[in-house]
Structure 1
């Protein structure tokens, strides 16, 4: 009835004589409907079987002047060969936080052209403690201050049966405080810290000043300062905080503070000291808050306790830098409350803050003294920090023995207990109370 069509079919038949071409024909026809499959398998390059291009969202499709996309909006249902329509966003006449969409960054009320570099708990300083020393304009001194270590020399400042009770505290955290084979690391390091603090607090009858402290958790810190031409902030939640009604005594005298002006800070040229810090354009200026109200009865920071992360790869240098920055932030926020936001070249009474970090076995001790709030330049008086790094409380705490080549290398239980580590922990706890 249609001889021309029959001729066309016969003429096209030799094109698909080979098996490979027959397979391509099945891809194109797919039961007689060749157009959709041809669009799917012929990409923009025009080759057979080319990879399809990623489908763009309607909001990402470019608008071409003079061309209007044909959509299935008038059809009121989905059409496979028509473009998906873009409907205007429905604005509610009430506030629903589930569907809140933030405005563009440049339209936010707190947007500023000058960026701010933020140090938080997730910051990993590339140069570790050295970078934190430059950011806080601080001089590092190895070891703890002698006046702190000498507190435990008096027998009245020691706990009865001290070594035995500390070992029991370690065994409770590592062996007894679980129904599983062994407690998780994030659990036993917190339990050990609370056990040691409980032992230290047993000296309260002989040291009444211990009762003038309180332990806080999940509080927010914010401190702002200028370093050179950069605006810096340290903020976020940071571990447990021991605050007191009375400030810690000053560690360095006026002559030692004045001698810090000759100290030269380490530089990282050509690496910028703010390379690892979060850069943001939306922030509040002059953010200085300690996390508590002005009428808080324990306004003075005593000791900050931080827990080292339980990752597979331990980074003690970055952890110590985080300890230093948050210890400095607590001292700076307190100084802003006492002396105002104007930079002070030398504080009338320096602010002392302590910090203790631990991963459940290894401890980091730090005593920080804020001598100045004029942090813009490298000259003048510097702040001071005393650091005791990687102090082990014990060697091993094994639930099962470690056996190698049928020889017991590490026995079961607690081995390698070092009493001098807890002595330093107790000395920092008694600082300001003994």
Structure 2
């Protein structure tokens, strides 16, 4: 017996004698021994696994194996048989060739921005990659579309609040639905509400919603080749292109804008680096005969279906990149893949992002496809970030120190946020 075991038993013997009956004292001592033995085994060191011996190959010497005997023989080496090649094609046992032997392999890497990319510098990095000038706030001419009484929905505020309550309270039997669920439900409720104006604005019927479309657009920025690829966002397409926001004189004034740098951080620090790619790949996700070829608005839901959660700054950068990608793919379809210093008719694409409570509004205007240098005409983006639609939506009231701080239900509704959402929706149809 170990000395520690005997000491523990001597210390526990008076306790078992007082509490337990005389007949159960021996049973208690046995339980104490088993408990101590188990605890000692758990703390024992486990020996490390033995490493397999390295196979030694001496040039000029042939190893003696048990291959001819067709069974294992102790002391003889395991034979090395050649790989068996099938005389038929079996996709279940396909082995890809090395990457440098593939036909699309190139020594120069391509930097890819996809739906999982998280830009370190956020919007500033996206502006440099797309050669874009940032303008704070949405254009006043665009915001004025929702102010006219003819462009408003009957009982607008009440119906919007009902749409919020449906997404937060009525669309789930859970006590607290997930953010991905109620944010997606709220987005579709608001789109359905805006589509009710089709009777007074027939141009709204010339649009279509597309989901899970594949976007691919490539361009050169300096010596780097960049691409935007992936399935992301809910795209609203239309038969007619969006009108441009800035006139020819305002577009010409963008040549004086100096792009902001963030040295020593590399602009491509967070982008995926690939060696197998096509240099000129531009696909809007639709065929050439698609009747709704023009991208109108890209709707993003924060974190839903993307497999990753982005911070607000990185989420806005993704909106800029994918709005730019849709505009660039359309410009290459209209004007060719050769860089154009100034487009005859700029391409405008909108973007709206939400997490179920806070909205991000963006309008992107592509003025040039010559993105290699920092000089010349720049693209333009109007950004209105972090706009709240409401403050609280509580199933149960928030009580602290026996006082109700936030009542149950919807509180703090802000109608001007939906007016911006409606203005972007009506853009091009009024």
Q: Given the two structures, how large is their TM-score scaled by the length of structure 2?
A: 0.85
Aligned to 2:343: 347
CA-CA distance at 1:161 after TM superposition? 0.5
Asked if the contact 2:392/2:412 (under 8 Å) is kept, the reply is yes
Structure 2 residue matching 1:109: 3-state secondary structure: coil
1:405 shift after superposition: 2.0
Residues 176-255 of structure 1 correspond to what in structure 2 (within 5 A)?
176-255=170-249
Greater shift, 176-185 or 255-264, is seen at 176-185
Correspondence for 2:354 = 358
Between stretches 171-180 and 197-206, larger displacement belongs to 171-180
User: What secondary structure sits across from 1:210 in the alignment?
Assistant: helix
Distance 1:62 1:214, change over 3 A: farther
- The partner residue of 2:365 within 356, 360, 369 is 369
Alignment of 1:342-421 (within 5 A): 342-421=338-417
Q: Does the CA contact (< 8 Å) of 2:118 and 2:310 recur in 1? A: no
- 1:141 counterpart = 2:135: yes
Please show how residues 256-335 of structure 1 align to structure 2 within 5 Å: 256-309=250-303, 315-335=311-331
The 2-side partners of 1:222 and 1:198 are apart by: 29
| Aligned CA distance change for structure 1 residues 338 and 66 (closer, same or farther; 3 Å) | same
> Counterpart of 1:203 in 2: which secondary structure?
helix
Quote the offset at 1:327 in angstroms: 0.5
Cα displacement string for residues 102-139 of structure 1 (whole angstroms, at most 9, x for unaligned residues): 11110000001111000001110010000000000000
Match of 1:129 in 2: 123
SS of the equivalent of 2:135 reads strand
Shift of 1:271: 1.5
After superposition, what is the alpha-carbon deviation per residue over 1:307-365, rounded to whole angstroms, capped at 9, x for unaligned?
A: 11169976000011111001000000000000001100000000000000111111100
Corresponding residue to 2:162 among 168, 183, 188: 168
Aligned-residue RMSD, C-alpha: 2.1
Q: CA deviation at 1:75?
A: 5.3
Output the CA distance in 1 between the equivalents of 2:252 and 2:189: 40
173-182 or 357-366, which moves further after superposition?
A: 173-182
After TM superposition, the structure 1 stretch with the greater mean CA deviation from structure 2, 65-74 or 155-164, is 65-74
Superposed displacement of residue 55, structure 1: 3.9
Given the superposition, is the C-alpha separation of residues 136 and 52 from structure 1 closer, same or farther in structure 2, using an over 3 Å criterion? same
Give distance in 1, aligned partners of 2:354 and 2:69. 66
What CA distance in whole angstroms lies between the structure 1 residues aligned with 2:100 and 2:388? 50
Aligned position for 1:40 = none
Cα distance in 2 for partners of 1:61, 1:399 equals 67
**Whole-Å separation in 2 of the counterparts to 1:174 and 1:80:** 71
2:147 aligned partner: 153
Quick check: 2:180–2:302 contact (8 Å CA) kept in 1?
Answer: no
In 2, Cα distance between equivalents of 1:112 and 1:330: 26
**1:68-83 counterparts in 2 under 5 A?**
73-74=67-68, 76=70
Structure 2: distance between partners of 1:292 and 1:286: 17
1:188 & 1:115 partners in 2: Cα distance?
40
Residue 162 to residue 104, structure 1, CA distance change in 2 (3 Å) = same
Decide whether the 8 Å contact of 2:302 with 2:309 is kept in 1.
no
- 1:161-220 per-residue CA deviation (whole Å, 9 max, x = no partner) reads 111101111111111111222322211111110000000000000100100000000000
Give 2:92's aligned residue.
98
| CA distance in structure 1 between the aligned counterparts of 2:187 and 2:166, rounded to whole angstroms | 11
381, 404, 420: which is aligned to 1:424? 420
